[in-house]
Amino acid sequence: MHWQQSLLNRRMLICVITGLASGMPLYLLIQLVPAWLRSADVSLAEIGLFSLVGLPYTWKFLWAPFMDRITPPLGRRRGWMLIAQVGLILSIGALGYIDPLNQTALVATFALLIAFLSATQDVAIDAYRREILPDEELGLGNTIHVQAYRIAGLVPGSLSLILADLLPWVWVFWITAGFMGVGLLLSLTVTEPEDLSPTYQSFSETLVTPFSEYFQRAGWRSALLALFFMVAYKLGDNMATALATPFYLDLGFSMTEIGVVAKHAALWPSIAGGLLGGLIMLRLGINRALWVFGLVQMISILGFAWLASVGGEVWALASVITFEYLGVGLGTAAVTAFIARESSRAFAATQFALFTAFAAMPRSIASASTGFIVESTGWVTFFLLCTLLALPGMVALIWVAPWRGESLRHAMVRCAEASPTGPDDKREDPR
């Protein structure tokens, strides 16, 4: 199929909308809610603990099989999308009626509900996108979805922060919730794809076999090293950005400056870094890209330590964030390619869920300690510590992705999958 025909069709428009609907709730939780809490004088330690509300994103593979077998009105995909989106609109709007300082536990409850509904929407959206895209459009469709996912961060991470300087928070949250209407409109107007799932699959086959296949294929030692690497590679980077918005506020930047400067300086370099990383990997290969991009990612954390010492200079804010999120985009592109290489084509969807769950752990668990660390050490020492925490992931590359070519294990896996008797089920990354 010609690339212009792939790009200019209704399926690609659907991928844009699914990305916008899928990304907005996550960015609300990691950008808007922390700013709201900090503006109400909630402590950094408590704000750091809010990272734990992201755990549903790492556990969504546990209830995905039920969504495959239970069909609500409108269909198995559209129905679950609609249920999750209605719930998201109501729960996001409800946040504005809560006192963040005196009802912090209630805020956490609603944030956890939003994360659960968002993860549920992701399961339905990912499955829907996989079923409507022909194999030759999977790469382009997923690229468009991911970039739209990032662009969705402009709503809670930029527009909503600017509105917070002008309007009461209750209006800010309802306006933000209103942007979920684009997903709601999609669920009501698209056609439900044909149900092609096999009826003979048991829960054991769905849940156990993909995981056991990976450990048998890779071997326990290599598999555990790879899983450790997925956790460690972006640990320092994720911890450094976990309290980014409260950090900018503590330096004296206004909500408007953060919304206009910080968020745009983060968004576009991360998108450019992702696209540039994909092109560079064609030249370097995955292994060497992991080394080079990981080094850039680690060095970029030091920029935050420098910014903490410089103070509230807008030019310094823009420069540091541009470099940091260029590293974020490069590192994400490399680790995503590594995850794809680790997955078997026969079980790509489920194994991707497992691997991305491990990769998301620093954002949801380790980042919960960041507020306590900052209050004990200060911002400069905290960012230096984050730089040191990036080292274990780099050291792990010696075994999981040696500089001088790919390991024999990966070569054998590719040969097996290329054989006529090898697995032929092609699935894409659900997140």
Highest mean pLDDT among 10-14, 237-241, 294-298, 313-317: 294-298
What confidence tier does 364 reach under pLDDT thresholds 50, 70, 90?
Answer: low
Residue keyed to tokens 């969807």: 349
Q: How far is residue 346 CA from its own chain's centroid? A: 24
CB atoms within 10 A of CB 6: 17
What confidence tier does 352 reach under pLDDT thresholds 50, 70, 90?
Answer: low
Q: Which one is predicted more confidently, 313 or 171? A: 171
Calpha distance 358→305 (Å, rounded): 27
Q: How far is residue 307 CA from its own chain's centroid? A: 25
Q: Which one is predicted more confidently, 76 or 170? A: 170
What confidence tier does 115 reach under pLDDT thresholds 50, 70, 90?
Answer: very high
Packing angle between helix 286-310 and helix 235-242, nearest 10 degrees? 30
List the one residue out of 47, 25, 385 whose CA is nearest residue 242.
47
Three-class SS of residue 168? coil
Q: Which one is predicted more confidently, 197 or 287? A: 287
Highest mean pLDDT among 175-189, 338-352, 412-426: 175-189
Three-class SS of residue 429? coil
What confidence tier does 143 reach under pLDDT thresholds 50, 70, 90?
Answer: low
Calculate what percentage of the chain has a pLDDT beyond 90: 22
> Which stretches within 285-347 are classed as H helix?
286-310, 314-342
Read off the pLDDT of residues 208-264 as tens digits, 9 standing for 90 and up.
Answer: 776 777 888 888 888 899 989 988 888 888 888 888 888 988 888 888 888 777 767
Calpha distance 54→111 (Å, rounded): 9
Calpha distance 246→235 (Å, rounded): 19
The pLDDT assigned to 135 comes to 58
Calpha distance 181→21 (Å, rounded): 8
If you average pLDDT over residues 177-181, what whole number do you get?
A: 93
Going from the C-alpha of 150 to that of each of 164, 248, 271, 324, 416, the distances in angstroms are 21, 20, 8, 16, 36
The pLDDT assigned to 363 comes to 63
- Domain 1-205 classification at class level: mainly alpha
The pLDDT assigned to 183 comes to 92
For 426, counting Cβ atoms within 10 Å of its Cβ (0-12 exposed, 13-18 middle, 19+ buried), the class is exposed
Read off the pLDDT of residues 14-32 as tens digits, 9 standing for 90 and up.
Answer: 888 988 999 999 999 988 9
The pLDDT assigned to 405 comes to 59
Q: How far is residue 148 CA from its own chain's centroid? A: 12
CB atoms within 10 A of CB 21: 29
351, 342 contact by CB (below 8 A): yes
For CA atoms 378, 109, 92, 76, the dihedral sign is: positive
The pLDDT assigned to 1 comes to 44
The pLDDT assigned to 430 comes to 32
The pLDDT assigned to 44 comes to 81
What mean pLDDT value characterizes the chain?
Answer: 79
Going from the C-alpha of 8 to that of each of 5, 137, 310, the distances in angstroms are 5, 12, 47
If you average pLDDT over residues 48-59, what whole number do you get?
A: 80
Q: Which two tokens stand for residue 375?
A: 């209050």
Shared fold status for 1-205 and 208-431? yes
Question: Has residue 3 got a pLDDT over 60?
Answer: no
Question: Has residue 60 got a pLDDT over 70?
Answer: yes
Largest distance between two CA atoms of the chain: 63
Identify the weakest region by mean pLDDT among 11-25, 243-257, 353-367, 382-396.
Answer: 353-367
Question: Has residue 41 got a pLDDT over 50?
Answer: yes
Calculate what percentage of the chain has a pLDDT beyond 70: 79
What CATH superfamily classification does 208-431 receive? MFS general substrate transporter like domains (1.20.1250.20)
Domain positions in the chain are: 1-205, 208-431
Angle 275-276-277 (CA atoms, 0-180°, nearest 5)? Answer: 90
CB atoms within 10 A of CB 330: 28
Question: Has residue 431 got a pLDDT over 70?
Answer: no
